Amino acid sequence: MTQSSLPETAAAGDLSAWISRPGAAETLAARMGIELLEATAQRLVGTMPVAGNKQLYGMLHGGASVVLAETLGSIGAAIHAGGGHIALGVDVNATHHRPVRSGIVTGVATALNLTPTIASYEVVITDEAGLRLCTARITVAPNTAEVIRRARS
Choosing from 8, 26, 38, 70, which is the catalytic residue?
70
Domain, as residue range, for 89? 26-151
DSSP H or E stretch at residue 151: helix 144-152
Q: What is the pLDDT of residue 83?
A: 74
Residue 11: inside a domain, yes or no?
no
Instruction: Report which of 86, 83, 89 is spatially closest to residue 121, judged by C-alpha positions.
Output: 89
Residue 141: inside a domain, yes or no?
yes
In this prediction the pTM is 0.83
> Mean pLDDT in each 10-residue stretch from start to end of the chain (153 residues)?
41 51 73 93 97 97 98 92 82 98 98 94 98 97 69 69
Q: What is the pLDDT of residue 117?
A: 87
Estimate to the nearest angstrom the gap between the alpha carbon of 81 and the chain centroid. 15
Residue 9: inside a domain, yes or no?
no
Residue 132: inside a domain, yes or no?
yes
Residue 8: inside a domain, yes or no?
no
The string of DSSP codes covering 15-41 is: HHHHHTSTTGGGSHHHHTT-EEEEE-S
Distance CA 145, CA 149 (A): 6
Domain at 88, CATH number: 3.10.129.10
The number of folded domains in the chain is: 1
Distance CA 29, CA 4 (A): 15
Residue 99: inside a domain, yes or no?
yes
Q: What is the pLDDT of residue 24?
A: 65
128 is catalytic: no
Residue 21: inside a domain, yes or no?
no
Q: What is the pLDDT of residue 22?
A: 53
